[in-house]
Amino acid sequence: MKHTKTLQVRVRDKHTQLLRQMARQVNFVWNYLNELSHRSIRERGVFLSAYDLDRYTQGASKELGLHSQTLQEVSREYATRRRQFKKARLSWRKSIGVRRSLGWIPFKSGAASWKNGQVFHNGRCFKVWDSYGLGQYRLRSGSFSEDARGRWYFNVVVELETQLSTGQGVVGIDLGLKDVATCSDGQRLENGRFYRDLEPKLASAQRAGKKARVRAIHAKIANRRKDALHKFSRSLVERCNTIIVGDVSSQKLVKTKMAKSVLDAGWGQLKTMLAYKCAHAGIVFRVVNEAYTTQTCSCCGALPASRPRGIAGLGIREWICECGVTHDRDVNAARNILALGHERPGEGIPGV
């Protein structure tokens, strides 16, 4: 059994100038299609498909210095995003200025290959730091992309053999701010406060106008958070065959005073990691409605008067149910989430 996965490796810095030139041409094509599509809608009331757009860029690859499949992929991506956002005209891709778009050069399957220890694309070879052994895979579609620090990466979809997890455990996960994740068996992922720890240095660099330093600090924060989430999610996948997570939404809470803490926790990133890692390992992964899971006793299923509730109850980390059981707030919620994942909701959980 096989599955697909996207691998990312960094491109050597000596290719930066060439990649930026190619990215400027991609921006030119995008903006041309943007104006062309907008005129067609305004003047004729016709939405041009990716197939229609391809006809207007056909034969221009040599003059632009791009692979013909890159032009086709830009057309496909443009048509997809226009349909997704339901707009007659999308944002322009800018090649200069402070609001410059990050570089992006897409390609279809077969347009990039592994040749003599390098990535061969559009008649040129690009050296990369190959941490995956790309020579053993058949490279499919992908892209070259630029990050905020001006570093370029080669992203490609490959086909892998599915390695089923040997874990036998089942776990429910409650997401929070004191601990990013608390499992029903007591395992926790502590909040690393990655942004908060580097916030003073970030503020100092911003006041001094050191833009490169600001970008480097932001990258360090993101990398530290990603590393912690990867290690935690991998440990769960290796020891479990069923993972259930509460549906807490970071997108809703970023509109509150807790926005910085919520974004620093990385709930959405953790759920994304668990989703694709479980899919690759053949593990059951579900997201359930976590309403009232904190307030309900995971032992008797009741909603006792002593339960923590509302904003005032956020500081209550332990509470005692009327049945006599003492609960850790987060572990109790994780156990209720696990029960919901097994479709065995406690009788005290309403509205689920």
pLDDT in tens, 46-66: 999 999 999 999 999 999 999
pLDDT digits (tens, 9 = 90+) for 284-337: 999 998 888 888 888 887 787 777 776 556 677 787 887 878 888 889 889 999
Strand order across the 142-146 sheet: 2-10, 152-161, 142-146, 104-107
Alpha helices (H) in the chain, listed in sequence order: 16-44, 50-57, 61-64, 68-85, 194-207, 211-239, 250-253, 259-265, 267-281, 329-341
Q: At what angle do helices 267-281 and 211-239 cross, to 10 degrees?
A: 40
pLDDT digits (tens, 9 = 90+) for 97-145: 889 999 999 999 999 999 999 999 999 999 999 999 999 999 999 999 9
Distance of CA 296 to the CA centre of its chain: 32
Scan for tokens 């600001």, then name that residue. Answer: 214
- The stretch 248-273 carries a mean pLDDT of 86
Under 8 Å between Cβ of 250 and 263: yes
Indicate the DSSP class of residue 299. Answer: T
Q: What is the pTM of this model?
A: 0.82
Q: Distance (Å, rounded) from C-alpha 43 to C-alpha 34?
A: 14
Q: Domain ranges for the chain, please list them.
A: 2-161, 169-288
Scan for tokens 């490959």, then name that residue. Answer: 158
Distance of CA 114 to the CA centre of its chain: 27
pLDDT digits (tens, 9 = 90+) for 217-234: 999 999 999 999 999 999
**Per-residue model confidence (pLDDT) at position 317:** 77
pLDDT digits (tens, 9 = 90+) for 187-222: 999 998 999 999 999 999 999 999 999 999 999 999
**Per-residue model confidence (pLDDT) at position 309:** 72
Q: Distance (Å, rounded) from C-alpha 288 to C-alpha 209?
A: 45
- Tell me which amino acid residue 336 is: N
Q: How far does the chain reach from its first CA to its final CA, in angstroms?
A: 36
Please check the confidence at residue 345 and state whether its pLDDT lies above 60.
no
**Residue 309 half-sphere exposure, CB side, CA atoms within 13 Å?**
10
**Per-residue model confidence (pLDDT) at position 314:** 67
Please, which residues bridge with residue 47 across strands? none
121 or 346, which is more confident?
121
